Amino acid sequence: MKAFKTLTSKLAPLDMPNIDTDQIIPKQFLKRVERSGFGQFLFYDWRFNDDGTDNADFSLNEPKNAGAKILLTRDNFGCGSSREHAPWALEDYGFECIIAPSYADIFYNNCFQNGILPIILESEKVDNIFSLVANNAKLEAFVDLENQSIVVKELDNATELVTYKFEVDAERKNKLLNGLDDIGISLQEADAISAYEKQRIFY
């Protein structure tokens, strides 16, 4: 898993609460056996019209949001089924960080297991960032996991508009900083595990 330390990116706004995992990655695309390639199906029912053309009214299809690595959204993001394909699709599409007031618990944990930083900010702060994005054509955010801060600034003159601190569990933070999921944590003890297995007596 790729480590997350800092990130500089524009923000892609998705101004809807209670976005469930079936909208993030619809069920008909869960037949794939590999973990990659899900990004093309992210928010499929919203990104595309019935004839397969891009839905121009969907925010992620707006040219100004192309290439954004930070998703800005609302309460209870990732609710619904616990499918891990949701963070797979977000990561494969290019998102490395999400900012929202709250998340579904299982989705929140799955983000850390897949190299995505889900930042929790108070609703008022999220509202403010949405307003800044709506009223400024050229913005970017700098996310610093080590210092647990996010700075939103104007691109043209580098003026810092807001700086917010966020909380994150120390163990999850350490895993993300070092690019470790649960399997990676176990593999750090590979030598000790191998030594133990060799000395075991099997009957």
d(CA 198, CA 192): 10
- What is the model's pTM? 0.89
Domain 6-199 belongs to what topology?
Aconitase; domain 4 (3.20.19)
Q: How far is CA 185 from CA 1, 74, 103, 146, 191, in A?
A: 11, 32, 24, 19, 13
Residue 70 C-alpha from the chain's centroid: 7
d(CA 70, CA 162): 16
Is residue 115 a contact partner of residue 4, using CB atoms and an 8 Å limit?
yes
Rg (CA), the chain: 19
Q: How far is CA 155 from CA 9, 151, 158, 180, in A?
A: 10, 12, 5, 33
Q: Which pLDDT does position 48 carry in this prediction? A: 98
Q: Which pLDDT does position 198 carry in this prediction? A: 60
Residue 148 C-alpha from the chain's centroid: 16
Q: Which pLDDT does position 190 carry in this prediction? A: 45
pLDDT tens string 167-184: 999 999 999 999 986 555
Question: What residues of the chain score a pLDDT lower than 50?
Answer: 187, 189-190, 192
